Amino acid sequence: MLESISCQYEDVRALLLERGEEGRLNDLSEDTLKAMVMFLQRFKEATKALEASKTPTLHLTAVWLDRLKRHLQPSSTDNLTFSSLKGKMSHNSG
């Protein structure tokens, strides 16, 4: 869903501009939206890998948990928003 929003960002922005509601996007830049989609992609991959109904997936749980924990490690390229998000998610994942 976020991917489709990201792909349509310019169309949404143009529509809001027509309606005089461009302020709705003040706190959401296209770059931030794309970064969020990329960040969430790893969780989408984990969900897809673990939701198989015709093959066993229990053995993949530990693998994906480790991958997601590493994904949540701070990076030098993280901005303040993502750094904070990763910290909160890491704290809550136990």
Q: What is the pLDDT of residues 1-43, one digit of tens each?
A: 667 878 888 898 899 999 999 888 888 888 888 888 999 999 9
Segments forming the whole domain that contains residue 16: 2-93
Closest CA to 75 of 90, 93, 64: 90
Write down the pLDDT at residue 7.
Answer: 86
- Residue 94 confidence (pLDDT) above 70: no
Domain count, the chain: 1
Residues 6+ away with beta carbon under 8 Å from 62: none
